Amino acid sequence: MRKSKADTELTRRRIVQTAAREFQRNGIGGTGLADLMAAAGLTHGGFYRHFASKDQLVAEACAEAMKDTADVLTSAASETAGQPKFQTIIEKYLDAAHRDDSSSGCPLASLGSELARADVNTREVVTQGFNRLVDMVAATLRRRNPDAARSDAIFATVALIGAVTMSRIVADPELSDEILDNTAAHLG
Amino acid sequence: MRKSKADTELTRRRIVQTAAREFQRNGIGGTGLADLMAAAGLTHGGFYRHFASKDQLVAEACAEAMKDTADVLTSAASETAGQPKFQTIIEKYLDAAHRDDSSSGCPLASLGSELARADVNTREVVTQGFNRLVDMVAATLRRRNPDAARSDAIFATVALIGAVTMSRIVADPELSDEILDNTAAHLG
DNA sequence: TGTACATCAGTGAACGCGCGTTCACTGATGTAC
DNA sequence: TGTACATCAGTGAACGCGCGTTCACTGATGTAC
């Protein structure tokens, strides 16, 4: 049953990517390792050949998801012409598609309150991802003062996270849309 | 062992209040009914004399916590002289004390991503609480146009929620303070 | 108002279940000569 | 380059544990007469 080094690495990557998706969809506590491994096409017994614990996978999956989020927003900003990059980022983050599919979105919005209780390693990884997100947003602002750009970027980023989080909680679809639209209007 | 109707009602209220505290501190999934009942000074067997399920208690505890949050902010706003009520609400919500003690704070910040996956009943109760919070904030804005006041209030409220959520996730204390201070500066 | 009985709040043990983790095993891959 | 052996990725069963929920029981409260 042993696999080649290349296959092993592929399997490991597949588990991390599947985990990012499943954690974001069902929550960290709501995702069991057995289900997760099955979703990756494996049985749960092999998990510990790749990771020391669930917590370690959580950290790696969050790192992956943070990177993906930054990449998606950066790509959207550079590919969309005719409007400021900052505007594109806001619209992309506050899009109904992002709200409606948490599995491939930003982990800060899909796992926020769980991350606040996650272990230090996960929180450090996520902090790094947040800083990169803020830097990326700040770069689109093109303000003279870098401190002011960072300040504006932090504010915009936390507002985006709060808006998507609330848009998912709210049981009233109209209110949910209103939250996204209002936030876009205020930030844009 | 039977208790009087008055005692029964007191016990029930105590369970709900304890639950609001424990859920907000450890998360909904992270709080077991046995621990919760013990924290309320009872054994877990008696739980179902008061509630049909954990989900029902979650909904009631969230309703309680939402009401408490609105009350605390309203009181602070009306008791603090010398600055606009809106400014007081922002400062109170973004206070480090709120960040550092989630147990008595706003459930939208402490349970956000878990609430997005909660059952419909809980989400409806929370939606109602969010609407009341928004109305309360809107009332402090004293804008001519009520729609504009509501729009501003929704934006401010989701920004507050996002800021406190992120300030709790971040592993860097300076960044955590920076998030709160920046958000206060931008909203105020 | 007093008595007999029904109710039911709370206890503590037990239920099945799914969790994260461990382990003996298999057999293909990697390595040493 | 070929052979013998060690390694280890993945399987599937099992582990202890805590979860939400149920239940028989106790005895004080509430109710009917």
Q: Alpha carbon B38 to chain centroid distance?
A: 22
Q: Which of residues 113-172 of B touch A (CB under 8 A)?
A: 113-118, 120, 123-124, 126-127, 130-131, 151-152, 154-155, 157-163, 165-166, 168-172
Q: How many Å lie between the alpha carbon of A122 and the closest alpha carbon of chain B?
A: 9
Two tokens at B150?
């509501």
Two tokens at B157?
């409220």
- In chain A, what percentage of residues exceed pLDDT 90? 93
Partner residue opposite A162 with nearest CB, options B118, B165, B169 = B165
Closest residue of B to A186, CA-based? Answer: B155
pLDDT digits (tens, 9 = 90+) for A129-187: 999 999 999 999 988 899 999 999 999 999 999 999 999 999 999 999 999 999 999 99
Indicate yes or no: CB of B158 within 8 angstroms of CB of A166. yes
Two tokens at B82?
């010398």
Based on DSSP, count helices (H) and strands (E) in chain A, helices before strands.
Answer: 10, 0
Answer for B30: CB within 7 Å of strand C: no
Cβ-count burial of A121 within 10 angstroms (0-12 exposed, 13-18 middle, 19+ buried)?
A: middle
Structure confidence at residue B160 (pLDDT): 98
Contact call for residues B23 and B63 (beta carbons, < 8 A): no
Q: How many Å lie between the alpha carbon of B27 and the closest alpha carbon of chain A?
A: 7
Name the nearest CA neighbour of A134 among A111, A108, A115, A155: A155
Indicate yes or no: CB of A175 within 8 angstroms of CB of B131. yes
C-alpha pair distances (Å), A51 with each of A46, A56, B166: 9, 6, 27
d(CA B52, CA A172): 25
CB of A101 within 8 Å of a chain B CB? The answer is no
Q: With a cut of 80, say whether residue A98 has pLDDT above it.
A: yes
Contact call for residues A175 and A152 (beta carbons, < 8 A): no
Structure confidence at residue B187 (pLDDT): 97
Structure confidence at residue A24 (pLDDT): 98
d(CA B103, CA B31): 12
pLDDT digits (tens, 9 = 90+) for A28-53: 999 999 999 999 999 999 999 999 99
Name the nearest CA neighbour of B113 among A124, A180, A115: A115
Q: Please, which residues have CB within 8 angstroms of residue B51's CB and are 6 or more apart in sequence? A: B15, B57, B60
Q: With a cut of 80, say whether residue B1 has pLDDT above it.
A: no
DSSP single-letter state for residue A46:
G
Structure confidence at residue A180 (pLDDT): 98
Q: What is the mean pLDDT of residues B113-141?
A: 97
Indicate yes or no: CB of A169 within 8 angstroms of CB of B109. no
Please tell me whether the overall predicted TM-score, pTM, comes out greater than 0.85 for this model.
Answer: yes
Which chain B residues are closer than 8 Å to A69 by Cβ?
A: none
d(CA B188, CA B86): 8
Q: How many Å lie between the alpha carbon of A61 and the closest alpha carbon of chain B?
A: 16
DSSP single-letter state for residue B117:
T
pLDDT band at B168 (very low <50, low <70, confident <90, very high): very high
Answer for B16: CB within 7 Å of strand C: no
